A and B are shown apart, each in its own frame.
Chain A
Amino acid sequence: MEVEREITVPSGPDEVWDSLTEAERLEEWFANEVELDPREGGRGVFRWADGDERAATVRELEPERRIVLDWDDGGYVSIELETVEDGTRVRVVETAPDFASALELHACAWAAVA
């Protein structure tokens, strides 16, 4: 099970790459607090304002092309860049975490529904 999203950003892949790999830049769009060691095998910790926290290991890193993070709670997120006429196409694929973790993560939001 995976979610796939694509967007075109009006700047070059070098600029977008910085936004994907520098902690300070990641804090502008991905999470509220970021620690990331941007190299293969490097660790990342991401914290959000709602108290959620996820840690990951960098599985693949190809500058200005592709970064893949394996989440500690299962699943991965892959972000690929491609130069296009009006900027850089960013393609994200995120796979589901281990089923139990997914249930736990979303139990609060969905408790009212079940």
Chain B
Amino acid sequence: MGRGRVDDVFAALGDPARRALVRAIAERGDATATELAAGLPVTRQAVAKQLALLGEAGLLRATRSGRETRYAVTPGPLHDAVAWMVEVGAEWDERLAKLRGTAARRSSRRPRA
């Protein structure tokens, strides 16, 4: 595997929205842009664009199904490393957002010194 490929993978996974998509597809087995957009505050087109980018990086495999393209996560040499990074990265994104939320609530209740 060339260096370029590895960089593509990490660049593709550098974005929290794209990590969330990979995670959502992994959980479902496979999914279309329409299915994924249904649970998100973004358009199908925006999701389709991110899926295409993840496909180009070799992280997703696309299969035509009627008028739609179904995406599944590509097993491969980076599979376990990517699985770990996606999972743990997504966990920390969620945890830190919660941490910021709880701290903000506390600060707003407390008069500033």
Partners in one complex: yes
Count of B interface residues, CB-CB < 8 Å = 30
Residues of B within 8 A of A25 (CB): 102
Chain A interface size band reads 20 to 34
Whether A92 and B87, one on each chain, are in contact in the complex, defined by CB atoms closer than 8 angstroms, is no
Whether B104 and A11, one on each chain, are in contact in the complex, defined by CB atoms closer than 8 angstroms, is yes
Give the segment of B1-9, B39-47, B62-70, B88-96 that binds chain A.
B88-96
Q: A7-B99, A92-B92 are in contact. Are A1 and B107 (CB under 8 A)?
A: no
Whether B80 and A99, one on each chain, are in contact in the complex, defined by CB atoms closer than 8 angstroms, is yes
Whether B85 and A3, one on each chain, are in contact in the complex, defined by CB atoms closer than 8 angstroms, is yes
Whether B84 and A96, one on each chain, are in contact in the complex, defined by CB atoms closer than 8 angstroms, is yes
The answer to the question of B48 belonging to the interface, with a C-beta cut-off of 8 Å to chain A, is no
The answer to the question of B81 belonging to the interface, with a C-beta cut-off of 8 Å to chain A, is yes
User: In this complex, what residue of A is CB-closest to B75?
Assistant: A114
- The complex places the Cα of A25 from the Cα of B101 at a distance, in Å, of 12
Whether A113 and B26, one on each chain, are in contact in the complex, defined by CB atoms closer than 8 angstroms, is yes
The answer to the question of B27 belonging to the interface, with a C-beta cut-off of 8 Å to chain A, is yes
Give the segment of A33-41, A60-68, A101-109 that binds chain B.
A101-109
User: In this complex, what residue of A is CB-closest to B92?
Assistant: A5
The answer to the question of B33 belonging to the interface, with a C-beta cut-off of 8 Å to chain A, is no
Whether B89 and A3, one on each chain, are in contact in the complex, defined by CB atoms closer than 8 angstroms, is yes
Q: A11-B103, A103-B80 are in contact. Are A28 and B93 (CB under 8 A)?
A: no
Whether A113 and B103, one on each chain, are in contact in the complex, defined by CB atoms closer than 8 angstroms, is no
Top 9 closest pairs, chain A to chain B, by CB: A29-B98, A112-B29, A7-B96, A29-B99, A11-B103, A5-B92, A9-B103, A11-B107, A28-B102
